[in-house]
Amino acid sequence: MLGVVENHSLPRTAAFFDLDKTVIAKSSALTFSKSFYQGGLINRRAVLRTAYAQFVFLAGGADHEQMERMREYLSALCRGWNVQQVKEIVAETLHDLIDPIIYDEAASLIEEHHAAGRDVVIVSTSGAEVVEPIGELLGADRVVATRLVVENGAFTGEVEYYAYGPTKAEAIAQLAESEGYDLSHCYAYSDSVTDLPMLEAVGHPHTVNPDRALRREAAARGWPVLSFNRPVRLKQRRPSLSMPPRPVLAVAAAVGAAAATAGLVWYTNRRRALYARV
């Protein structure tokens, strides 16, 4: 893939990666459901429901309405969970659950971007307690992830920041301002049409295993379409491609409720226009 990644020493640049079905082969949030069950956080019925949601996600992705239902369900499910216990469960099971489903092609791209002098930023709708350790495992420099409200060490069930649709693009713009990234020279990768604003925000957008609507957009705009299909454990990859340990700076962009609501209205209208053409 070296031919896809150009080397720009100046200005400062970054590569922004969606996580689920772009870097890893499944939904990061749903992958830990069995571990949460074993830790006493959820019951068997919840495990079955999340397994079904994972199947729907893998079979064809999730549209806006499904993502909204999933967000509401998961945030309600997390109400009352001890945050430290969640972090410990994720840390204990991370290598067993996530390492085997990392796409080899994505890991290579991350290495190539680092070699070209770019920061690597994971931008995911999943919760920060899950995304931050995965970002560290991947050697990412920063992460943008959904954050739930925490009171007295437990989740309240309310969402503080939802990293989804236009809010991902807003977070990228804020990072560009604070870190000095020239977005016209930056890269972005995603599988879902919900990330269209993120892809539009950079000069080098790439689609990865795109859903039907995003594939149509990529064809209309002349964007590259990448196919990732080789999940592999990082330690099983060639030693020359092993991930160096890198510090992770967790980033949660502050987005006002009014701005987030406006973004969801924009996305709903945009999605209707896209699917009308499918």
Catalytic positions: 18, 20
Q: How many CB atoms lie within 10 A of CB 202?
A: 24
Measured CA angle at 185 (ends 15, 177), to 5 deg: 75
**CB within 8 Å of 194: residues ≥ 6 apart:** 63, 64, 67, 164, 165, 267, 271
Question: Is there a contact between 187 and 15 (Cβ–Cβ < 8 Å)?
Answer: yes
- Mark 223-252 as b/e (b = at least 16 C-beta within 10 Å): beebebeebeebeebeeeeebeeeebeebe
| Amino acid (1-letter code) at residue 89 | I
Residue 244, preceding bond cis, omega within 30 degrees? no
**Of 42, 39, 30, 118, nearest in space to 66 by CA:** 30
**Please, what's the largest Cα pairwise distance for the chain?**
53
